[in-house]
Every structure is written in C-alpha cells, then in structure tokens.
Structure 1
Amino acid sequence: MTTVPSAPHRPPPPAPALRPKAVARTGLYAILAANAVAVAVLFAQAGFAANTLVVLGRLTGLYGALLMAFQLVLVARLPWFDRRIGMDRLTSWHRWTGFAVLWTLLAHVVFITFGYGRSSGMDPLNQLVDLAETVEGVLRALVALALLVVVGAVSARAARRRMAYETWHFLHLYTYVAVVLAFTHQVAAGTSFTSSPAATAYWYTLWGAALGAVLAGRVVLPLWRNLRHRLRVTAVVPENDHVVSVYLTGRDLDRLPARAGQFFLWRFLTRDRWWQANPFSLSMAPDGRQLRLTVKTAGDGTAALRRIEPGTRVFAEGPYGAFTALHRTRPDTLLVAGGVGVTPIRALLEELPGHAVLVYRVATDRDAVLHDELRDLAHAKGAELHLVTGPAVPDRLGPRDLAALVPDVADRDVYVCGPPGMTTAVLATLRELGVPKAQIHAERFSLAG
C-alpha cells in the first residue's frame, strides 16, 4: 500500500442542511399523492355501479393509468430530478412501478370480466371475448396488456441478464405502444374519463404532461444540446493495455451543465458505432474547454474506441447522475474507488472542496489507472491518497482496515464507485462503522436497472 500524505488545509463552510435528494423525492411523492387523490375524487363524482366487482375494476383501471403516466415521468430523464435522485434510482423506481402497473391492470381485467359475467351469466372467458367484440377500445386494451406482460417478463432480472442492452431496449420500446393503446381505450370506454368536463380535462392534462416530459427529456433536450455544442473527438490516449482515454471538445462547453461524477450516453458517429450508446463517466472535472472519458475494454464496442479518429463527431445524451458534490453534507470527504471506477472519483477529487481522502483498491500497481494524475492532484489539493493492492480475498477494505486509514470516516461524506462486489462490501463496511446513510453516495451508472 502506498500513501500520499495531506498538506494542512482550512475546512470550507458546511454544506447546506437541506438535502437535494430528499427535496426531489418528496416532490415526486407529493405529485403522485395529489394525483391519486384527484383520481379518487373524480371517480366518486362519476357515481358508482351497482356491481361491486365492476366498481373495483374501474378503480384499478384508473390507478393503473395513473401509475403508467407516473412511470413515464420516472424515465423522462428530466435534468432537475436526475441531478438530485440519479438515473439508477429513477430507473429502479420505474422498474418497480412497471410491475405495479402490470398487476393493477391485471386486477382491472379480472374484476371487470367477473363483474360483467355476474350480470350476464357468461363464464369469464366468453365474457372477455364478448367485451372485446362489442365494446370499443377493449380489444386495444387487451393488446396493450399483452405487450406489458411481455415487457415485464423480459425486465425480470433472470431474463434481463441474458440479453444485450440494445435487445432489451428495443423490446422495451413497445411500452410506448401499450401506453397509446391504453389511452385510446380509456378515451373510448372510460366512464370516469367522460363523466364530466373536469375529468376529461384532467386525464388529457395528465397524459399530455407525461408524454411531453418524455419527449422533452429524451428527444428535444438531447437534440438541442448536441446542435449547440457539436462535440468531436480531439485525441485518443491509451492509458495501458486495457484502458483508453478519449478527449473531446465543442462549442460553448462552459454552458454545458455537467459536473464531476456525472456520465453521458456516448454515440461515436462512425459507420460501425453510430447506433450504439454507452454510459461512460467523465474522468476529469468539466473545465468549459474539453471533456474526457476513460474506458476499460470490456468487449468489441469498448475495444473499438482505440481506433476512433480525431475529428469524429459525437452525439452525447446527458449529463446524467446524482454522484456529484451537490449532495455533500459534510466539509470533508472519503472517496473509495475500485478498478476503472476511479474515473468519476478522479473527477470528483478535482472538484470537491475541503479535505479529501482517496482510497484506491486494485489488484496490482499496474491496474492503478490514472495513478500519476491522482498523486499529483492529491498533492496539489492537500488530499491523502492510499493505493491498496492485493487479491480480492481477503478483503482489504474491511471495517478495521478502513478505520485505520480514515479514523474520522463517520464525520465525512463517502463516495464509492467500483465493481459491484467491491461496492457492496464497502457499503456494508460503512454501515458497520456507523457512517450515516445520508453521508454515503454510490451510483451504479446503469440504464436498465
């Protein structure tokens, strides 16, 4: 283990007590709760059917529609929410909301089918066929439900691990088809939708806001930013046999709202890579003149980065992520990096004020990417750098080891980025050392949850 000692430092003023993540999370909960109340009020104003099962069917259908609209907002990639909550958490919430949508709409179909079957005397299967043949929009709703079942099946972890991201993403796009079909069903057959002008206006506004958020965050904003900044590659620099850094420049980069610790979805516009988007973190704090990403070879796509020619145009979506200094709660920080997970950590070390301790976990000295930069940066900022080497087993970042390196760990914000196994182990260590949850920051930089 090697160490770069710190120089004397003056602590900066403490970070604001109001946590951005809590504010954004509370805002989302408040939006969902207010709309849940609005749905209940409009449903009650429309009147109740005599059949209890039909009443339950209509209510679950309305709440399924509400959850579907909320699910769209979660993945709209709206900058204000993304910077405060993080794409990984928003994606995870989207995933679990999706399962809630699926079960709610299944309940809607069951209640409606059995409710109408009780009145008509038909068995459930014949009743469902009759509704599809005689009620406008029901067949479209059943197609939408079938699409959601397929998307839910491929989103299960066991299935998700067995397919490429591009395949999963292509199948997931059918969710938007299901949304459109479900909305047309609600317009055609929804009693609450047509019960009053207020109800009609509410549902049109809700769906318009949800779809508008997706259009703005996923299409309009990326197109506008790329037209404005016109990113292109300026240099490709191998860091070692397996890691390469790509430098980019563009117009008005001082107006690009990127921070250290964030990532972009990068598309290098070459003949063989234009269609493939990869999430890579910034490995330097944005300075208004250039951006840099540092990537470890993990397949044909990342290996091809070594052959990118200077001048290649780049389409970048972002910046994304809440792994930033915005979430500091203490003047001083501990940064824990593993392997190539050091890239956002290196950028954070450059930007974070106060005294920082960086613990960099690698198997051997040769695996320590950007180590010379880290050493020089630590010296310039008066930070401590600890390079911890050795095999993964035994764990060299257990509670005793980490407490020896950073005795005041419980009084610092802690940023963790590395392989999943290491990250999980470090988070467990931090909990055992009594570091408050609000001071721990980790992000998976994932797209699909």
Structure 2
Amino acid sequence: MTTTRHYPTKSFAPPGTLALGTLLAVVLANLLVVEAFFVSAGPGKNSLLTVAKFVGVHVALVMMVQLVLVARLPWLDRRIGMDRLTVWHRWTGFTLFWAVLVHATLVVVGYATLDDAPVPKTFLALAGVPASLFGMIAASIIVGTAAVSVRYARRRLSYETWHALHLLLYAAVAFGLVHQFLETTTFTSSGWATAYWSLLWIAVGVAFVGGRVVLPLWRNAYHRFRVAAVVPESDDVVSVHVTGRHLDRLPARPGQFFIWRFLGHGRWWQANPFSLSAAPDGRSLRLTAKAVGSASAALRHVPVGTRVFAEGPYGAFTTLHQVKDAMLLVAGGVGVTPVRALLEEATGPVVVLYRVRTEAEAALLTELEGLVRARGAQLHVLTGRTGAGSPPNNPFDPDQLVALVPDIRERDVYVCGPPAMTSAVLRSLRALRVPRRQVHAERFSLA
C-alpha cells in the first residue's frame, strides 16, 4: 500500500524570501532595542571607551545571529537551506572577528589614554581584572577559530579536526557572556536592560540546543532508525535502506538530505550528509552513495540491523520552492540522488538532464528511465569528456541548453552535481535570463 504524504501548501510569498525577511526583521528589531539601551546607558569614560562599548554590544548581537544561523531550525532550513545558512554563518563569523579586534583594541587604548599609561602596562592591568580576563579569553578563541577558518588553513585540515577546533567557539560564547554581565555595561545599566538581554540569550540558547541537540535526540529515540538492506548498485555505488517506527510522521521531502551515523560501524563522530535517493514513503528511507572516501566506501559493509543515528531532514532543494508547473532537473554523477527523488514527486512536464562520463557510470539510470516513462517525461543522458571533440562537447553552454530545453525560461530548474558542473549550469541560466526565483541549487555538505 502506498502512503500518501501531505505537504504544506505554498505561502503567499516565495518561502526563501519570507524566511529571509522574517530573519532580517527579527535582527533589526533587536538591533533597535539594543541601540535604545545603549543611548539610555550614557557614554563611557572617554570617547574611545564609548566607541568600544558601542562595538561591544554589537559583538554580542552578532554572536547571537551566528548561533541562530547554525541552529538547524527546521522552519529556516526548509526555506533557506543549510548551505546558504552556513555561508552566512561564515561571513558573520569574520564580521565577529573584526568587531572583537576593534572592541578589544579600543578598550585597551581607551584605558591607556584615561590613565595616561603605556598600552602594554594597561593590557596587563586589565588581564588582572576578572571581567576583562573573561573577555580576553573569549576574544583569543574567536581570533584563533577565525584563523583556522580561512580557506588556506581550512583546506589543510580534516573536517573532524576543523570541527573540533570550531567547537571552541561555544566556550568563547560562555566566556563572553560572563564578561558581559560582570562589566558595568549597557547590559547591566538598568533592570529592563538586564532582563531583556537575559531573555534574548535564553531564547537563542533554547533555539540552538533545541535544533542541534534536543530535536535530533528526540527523533532518533522516537523513530529508532535501523539498516533494513544494503544494495550494491554498481562497483562503487551502494544504496542503504533505513527503516524505523512511525516514519509516516517524519517530515522528510524528496530532495532533502540527512546527516547519517551508522552506530558501531566506523567512528561515532564521523558523519556524512547523503540525500534521499527515493521519495520517503512512510515506511523506509533510502540513501545512495558513491565510494569517494573511506566512510562512503565502507557503507557497502554495513550489517543489516545496524542502529542509525540520523539528523535531519535538512535542505531547501524541494518542490516547496517551485513556482512553475514545468521542471528541468539537472544532475551530475551521484548528484542524481535527490533529482531521482524529486522526479517521483513531479507532476507537470519534466525534462531530466543527466551528466556522466559514460552511461556505465550513470547510477540509478534504470530507475530514472522507468520513472520517466511512467510520467511521460524526457531524459537526456549527456556523456563524453567536457571540451572534447569538434565542435567541443559543452552540454551546459547556453545554446546547448536551449537546444535541449527550448522553453527553459518557463521551467523551475533544479541543479545538483559536482561544483564545477553546478557553476557552469548556473552561469548559463543567468546568461539565458532564467528568473532567479526559478533556479534551485544546493550544496550537500557539512562545512
């Protein structure tokens, strides 16, 4: 028996626009309140310390925004996508880095000016004050984390090492909070200010712990995910079927992904984001992975019955964002997995472009062909080396896309594949003036 899934109806505004507008409105509203408390608290002991205090209150607000962006709140994630939220978190982090440096420098120089003392002596004197010491520790952690997050350094670290270092930011938040409430600052200038700031931090903390800890733990305890079957699709591609309790109540949609851990198989801290390769039917979930690393290669040997810890569903790569009846689904390599799931849910005219080097490397091709026939859709398998031949084989050039899909401007376009392919498709869609709200692409990764 097929389980019918009922998804939320579309809102009056594009979901991503609505979510971004809501997020900005909340941030701006709190910014206005903070500015009002800053003005009512009065200036600092001199002009430099006044500016330092002004920067300091905004440092705290930026910290809160950073935590919310990576809280994995379902309402935001389904509408904006983890990839975009993570990028915003990254740039907010560098904003925090510079704001902390400016704040710390102004504090030291401001007190040195006030006391008519050398800057090094003032720095050491401030380090002996508990409130200032907590702030210095928080600042040092933030600066260090920013240093290892620069692309040059990040590329030379494994994800696990980088993530472990990144976790120190939570310690920086804790030290920063103590610093804020020990100092005689805007946050403690009145009972109203202290109450407001405390409630705001509590709300951010609840959102973060709820999204990152409580919700995943509850879902896994409730659904009790287990491996039901492991099916090799080819020499280097494998599908894992996961079952559990009450999966019809799991709010997963075609195109989304989970972060998977197979308990007792590999290291417990190793997690991988894999998309659903079939539409969730209320009875089981399926992921399909290509062996590109030790973790994905080991999936072939996961025993049936293995307990699974799954975080999610995540991602905005769904028909929630569809604005046209017709769709163009573009997949590259193992990026076909969410595209194949989306094809199950598609109802209007659909064209699928599947880019692989050879048909032998086309994972799930038989399933795609069956779905295409059942839905009266079109499938083009695009093979060959890019740039080879005469004329060159560039299937995602604008003229080639229009030749394959003449009405491309009247379709929602979903793109998933290697970064180079995705970038090429997006460039061509811009050149063809496909409206931005009709273009959907998402990077399925942890950082």
Report the TM-score, using the length of structure 2 for normalisation: 0.95
Q: Mapping of 1:5-404 within 5 angstroms? A: 18-133=13-128, 135-393=129-387, 394-404=393-403
* Highest RCO, 1 vs 2 (Cα 8 Å, sep ≥ 6): 1
**Who is 1:425 aligned against?**
424
CA distance in 2 between counterparts of 1:110 and 1:15 reads 49
CA distance in 1 between counterparts of 2:184 and 2:378 reads 63
What SS is found at the alignment partner of 1:415?
strand
Q: Is the 8 A contact 1:334 1:412 kept in 2?
A: yes
**Who is 1:4 aligned against?**
none
| Residue 16 (structure 1) shift | 5.7
Deviations 1:237-283 (A, max 9, x none): 11111100001111000000000000000000125343211000000
| Residue 325 (structure 1) shift | 0.5
What SS is found at the alignment partner of 2:278?
coil
Deviations 1:148-167 (A, max 9, x none): 11110111111111111111
Q: Is the 8 A contact 2:333 2:418 kept in 1?
A: yes
CA distance in 1 between counterparts of 2:266 and 2:316 reads 31
Q: Is the 8 A contact 2:266 2:295 kept in 1?
A: no
What SS is found at the alignment partner of 2:444?
coil
| Residue 50 (structure 1) shift | 4.8
Which stretch shifts more, 391-400 or 239-248?
391-400
| Residue 352 (structure 1) shift | 2.1
CA distance in 1 between counterparts of 2:78 and 2:110 reads 46
Instruction: Determine whether 1:435 maps to 2:429.
Output: no
Counterpart of 2:142, as a letter, is: L
CA distance in 2 between counterparts of 1:66 and 1:175 reads 15
Q: Is the 8 A contact 2:277 2:286 kept in 1?
A: yes
Which stretch shifts more, 119-128 or 195-204?
119-128
Deviations 1:10-66 (A, max 9, x none): xxxx97651000000011111111111111100111111351111000010110011
CA distance in 2 between counterparts of 1:382 and 1:197 reads 66
CA distance in 2 between counterparts of 1:20 and 1:47 reads 41
CA distance in 2 between counterparts of 1:225 and 1:249 reads 13
CA distance in 2 between counterparts of 1:17 and 1:217 reads 26
Q: 1:369 to 1:190 in 2, by over 3 A?
A: farther
CA distance in 2 between counterparts of 1:374 and 1:27 reads 38
Q: Is the 8 A contact 2:265 2:302 kept in 1?
A: no
Q: Is the 8 A contact 1:337 1:360 kept in 2?
A: yes
CA distance in 2 between counterparts of 1:50 and 1:143 reads 24
| Residue 287 (structure 1) shift | 0.6
Deviations 1:326-368 (A, max 9, x none): 0001111100000000000000011122111100011001011
Q: Runs in 1 of length 4+ with deviation above 4 angstroms? A: 14-17
**Who is 1:5 aligned against?**
none
CA distance in 2 between counterparts of 1:215 and 1:113 reads 34
| Residue 216 (structure 1) shift | 0.2
Counterpart of 2:53, as a letter, is: R
| Residue 392 (structure 1) shift | 2.2
Counterpart of 2:187, as a letter, is: F
CA distance in 2 between counterparts of 1:26 and 1:403 reads 34
Which stretch shifts more, 190-199 or 373-382?
190-199
CA distance in 2 between counterparts of 1:25 and 1:103 reads 24
Q: Is the 8 A contact 2:225 2:308 kept in 1?
A: yes
Q: Mapping of 1:401-412 within 5 angstroms? A: 401-412=400-411
CA distance in 2 between counterparts of 1:44 and 1:291 reads 54
Deviations 1:389-430 (A, max 9, x none): 111224222111110110000110000000000000010011
Counterpart of 1:131, as a letter, is: L
Q: Is the 8 A contact 1:143 1:178 kept in 2?
A: yes
| Residue 440 (structure 1) shift | 0.4
CA distance in 1 between counterparts of 2:148 and 2:130 reads 30
Deviations 1:161-196 (A, max 9, x none): 111111111110000000000000001014212110
What SS is found at the alignment partner of 1:137?
helix
Which stretch shifts more, 17-26 or 311-320?
17-26
CA distance in 1 between counterparts of 2:290 and 2:83 reads 21
Q: Is the 8 A contact 1:283 1:347 kept in 2?
A: yes
What SS is found at the alignment partner of 2:324?
coil
**Who is 1:8 aligned against?**
none
**Who is 1:444 aligned against?**
443
CA distance in 2 between counterparts of 1:53 and 1:275 reads 46
Deviations 1:115-168 (A, max 9, x none): 1111111122211211121x3311111111111111101111111111111111
Identity among equivalent pairs (%): 56
Unaligned runs of 5+ in 2: 1-8, 388-392
Counterpart of 1:151, as a letter, is: T
What SS is found at the alignment partner of 2:443?
coil
Counterpart of 2:339, as a letter, is: I
Unaligned runs of 5+ in 1: 1-13
Which stretch shifts more, 200-209 or 265-274?
265-274
Report the TM-score, using the length of structure 1 for normalisation: 0.95
